[in-house]
A and B are shown apart, each in its own frame.
Chain A
Amino acid sequence: MKTKNSRSLENISTLRSKVSASAVGKLYHSIPISGQIISLGIVALIFSLGTNGQFLHISNIMTVLGLSAIPMILCLAVHQVIILGAMDLSLEGIVAITAVSAGLLLKNSVTANDVGLWIIPIVMLIGGLAGLVNGLLNTKLRMPSFISTLGMSWTLFGVAIMISKGSSIPLRDLRFQKVIISEFLGIPTVFILAILLGLVLYIMQNKTKLGKHMYAIGGNEILAKQAGVKVDRIKISIFGLTGMIYGLAGLLLVARLNSSAARYGNNLLFPAMTAVAVGGVSLSGGVGGALNAVIGTIIVVALNNGLVLMQINPYMQSAVNGIVLISAVALTIDRNKIGIIK
């Protein structure tokens, strides 16, 4: 159907095909996230004009990178499940339970515990177990992941509130916060950590059997199974892995605020999902990867940063944010690649 609305999209696609003809076009197509890079460029351009260049000042860039670390880790976690063609809404619940666990097990002002560095495997174990349950619910009980993970989120959030009695737990172990605040060669350490995680996942996705099979499942679970892919096993492991990464993020969040509470998990799902979409990971599965998650998060965080720097009236920010996000997605997603839009 040719309507007026579809024309503008056609223009974009003809523009794309024109671009593809040139050498620049070849480069454009050889990089899987070129659309996102361009959109980040546009964001940067607008904001640096709006802030007299302050947006692109090195100190601000480092602030953006530092702030993007935790959302990036979360986005890297959730995008794995989305590649499978499933959904994971348990993020806030798992972060809540791991944050509270970290608060109560590290040296704190409420309990007498102090597990020190052991907290890292512990939170990953807790998150991983929760993720495994997600995977089992989805594969063995054949529940739609959308609803089972939502249920998990509420359950774990509830448990987190119960064991923390709803209050926040100030930490007495300052080592973790120091790591979070620290910099390596002027780059926030926590950002480097997020990038390393992205790299590991990138290699896994592109260079291992597990990665290839993840994409096969995301493309079409039934056909993948026919070809011999061990669908259930892979889904369970990915849900588990995702949970482990949530756990890590929960710990980082606690370390950053040097305090822990169940509600620190709130307001994290939306930015992560937005980053997934803006980054170009198809919500119907099988398309996109770690690179998309990384760039998507940076775009989302840079947007929030730019709005503050430009002193956009807080009363308008929410609306501006929404409009910019829609435009960013409209500009960046490759409709040919993504296939069915759900």
Chain B
Amino acid sequence: MKKRGLLIIALAMLVLVTPLFAQGGKEAAASPTTLSIAIRTLTNPYQANYKVGADMLGELEGLPVVTLTCEGSSEKQLNDVRALVAKTNGNVVFMIDPNESPNVIPLARELDAAGVYWVSWWNKPEDVKVWDYKNWVSHISFDGISAGEFTAETLFKSFGYEGKIIALQGLLSNSIAQDRFVGLQNILKKHPKVQMVAFEAADWDRTIAYEKTRNMLVAHPDIKGIWAANDNMALGALEALRAVGRAGQVLVTGVDGTTEIYEAIKKGEAAATVYNDSTYQAGIGLAIALAAKNGELDVAKMPKDQRQFFAEATNVDINNVDEIMKGASSYDFENLFASFSRPMN
């Protein structure tokens, strides 16, 4: 009897909870095109903002939006995309942040075969070219090198281009992490009096960044700045500095442009960040794919510069942080290639 009671409770819990997880729920009436973003997770603000942008465009166009998260599994990403294509009978466009670079190849083949237009952000092996596929409209990336360069330059400036720094890398195997790190190294070469005395990989994670920084601070108590490959790690490093009473004396920098780092910039605890506006990324990505689907863009005739390019991100430091924090109240999703910065070969 007891066991049965518990079972009933367990089932009741499941029934209660399920609607919370169900997405939208409202089945689209046959015709409208579904807008879908395939991203990694909703657990970090950067990725979560993709959804904001997608929803924004969805509202603007009056189209349903579906968010697919792969939680770090390339396999799941591909399967989810495949399932949605089947469910919508191909009446769908995608903005995809590929879980890993090689994953774009099966995605491109799959979507080409289904005739579904899509745009990818960030990850793509260099030798895979968008123009080899007819439905892969564009691949866009923010320029990691220039982001690393800007934050490094601003950081070094804060202590007068002379002294020691430490650095926090992202996931070592990640090309974005590598690009940003190359940016840092470029600026290090420019300023020989700045020395990077140690660097550690903190896997984009705030807790790990905190611990690694605490440990590095023991070996190098005399550093002047901490460069981090993203805001999350920068904020972990900042709390580590606070724990040893040096927050505000030693500045940190990150990349991504989160509210928390803006607050820190305003308080004078962080020097800079680069805002990769994922709201815009998702919105513009879907807008480009939708334009192709609606025949407003002829993919075959698009110039290569529009098929693969680096987009301009927003550099943020003390000078413009207030303005950035006010935020863009609306986005321009009509001018499809306005953010173009330089071509990607």
B172 to chain A: which residues have CB within 8 Å? Answer: 314-315
A259 in contact (CB, < 8 A): yes
Q: A23 vs B134: C-alpha distance in the bound complex, in angstroms?
A: 80
A-B contact count (CB 8 A): 108
B205 in contact (CB, < 8 A): yes
Annotate A280-320 by CB proximity to B: 1 below 8 A, 0 otherwise.
Answer: 00000000000000000000000011001101001101000
Contact-size category for A: 35 or more
Q: Could you write out 30 A-B pairs with CB less than 8 Å apart?
A: A54-B218, A59-B218, A63-B218, A67-B214, A109-B259, A136-B6, A140-B2, A140-B6, A165-B42, A166-B44, A167-B48, A168-B45, A177-B239, A181-B242, A257-B207, A259-B260, A261-B206, A264-B206, A266-B205, A267-B207, A268-B207, A305-B215, A308-B212, A308-B215, A308-B216, A308-B219, A311-B198, A315-B172, A315-B201, A317-B201
B312 in contact (CB, < 8 A): no
- A259/B235 contact (C-beta < 8 A), A167-B48, A267-B207 known: yes
B236 to chain A: which residues have CB within 8 Å? Answer: 257
- A257/B198 contact (C-beta < 8 A), A140-B6, A166-B42, A304-B215 known: no
A32 in contact (CB, < 8 A): no
A1 in contact (CB, < 8 A): no
A314: which of B45, B199, B210, B235 is its contact (CB, 8 Å)? B199
Task: Mark B residues whose CB is within 8 Å of A.
Answer: 2-3, 6-7, 10, 20-21, 41-45, 47-48, 169, 172, 198-201, 203, 205-208, 210-212, 214-219, 235-236, 239, 242-243, 258-260, 263
A60 in contact (CB, < 8 A): yes
Contact status B3-A141, CB under 8 Å: yes
A161 in contact (CB, < 8 A): yes
Q: A330 vs B195: C-alpha distance in the bound complex, in angstroms?
A: 40
A166 to chain B: which residues have CB within 8 Å? Answer: 41-45, 47-48
Most A CB within 10 A of own CB, among B198, B210, B212, B218: B218
Annotate A52-69 by CB proximity to B: 1 below 8 A, 0 otherwise.
Answer: 001001011001001100
Most A CB within 10 A of own CB, among B201, B203, B211, B258: B211
Q: A57 vs B217: C-alpha distance in the bound complex, in angstroms?
A: 13
Annotate A254-267 by CB proximity to B: 1 below 8 A, 0 otherwise.
Answer: 00111101111011
Q: A262 vs B47: C-alpha distance in the bound complex, in angstroms?
A: 14
Q: A305 vs B210: C-alpha distance in the bound complex, in angstroms?
A: 12
* Given pairs A167-B48, A181-B243, A267-B208, 17 additional interface contacts (CB within 8 A): A60-B218, A63-B218, A158-B21, A162-B21, A165-B42, A166-B44, A168-B45, A168-B260, A170-B263, A259-B235, A263-B44, A264-B206, A266-B205, A267-B203, A308-B216, A314-B201, A315-B172
